[in-house]
Amino acid sequence: MVTPAAVEAAICAALPDARVAVEDLTGSGDHLQVSVTSAAFAGVSRVRQHQLVYAALKNEFASDAIHALALTTTAPPTQGT
């Protein structure tokens, strides 16, 4: 089990500008829905965006603290749009 705060901290350590929302879908702490917005995602494929988040959470996956992850990633809107 991992806390939503720990997931947010791990992602923010890898992507310092990230805005992260974590929802525990089952109350067990191992099925999570995560939304991440980061400038690091600008111009990057969705697959690569997800790889960046998964890399930030590699320890949590390796220890089976996270069993399932529903992930949404976006780049922030550019200024003037």
What is the structure's pLDDT at 32?
Answer: 95
pLDDT in tens, the chain (81 residues): 889 999 999 999 999 999 999 999 998 888 999 999 999 999 999 999 999 999 999 999 999 999 999 999 999 998 765
- Give the C-alpha separation, 7 to 53, whole Å: 10
What is the structure's pLDDT at 7?
Answer: 96
What is the structure's pLDDT at 81?
Answer: 53
Query: pTM to 2 decimals?
Result: 0.90
What is the structure's pLDDT at 79?
Answer: 72
Q: Which residue has the tokens 């600008």?
A: 42
Provide the residue ranges of all domains of the chain, joining segments of one domain with +: 4-74
Would you identify the CATH topology of the domain 4-74? Answer: GMP Synthetase; Chain A, domain 3 (3.30.300)
* The dihedral sign for the CA sequence 72, 77, 78, 79: negative
Tokens of 74: 């976006």
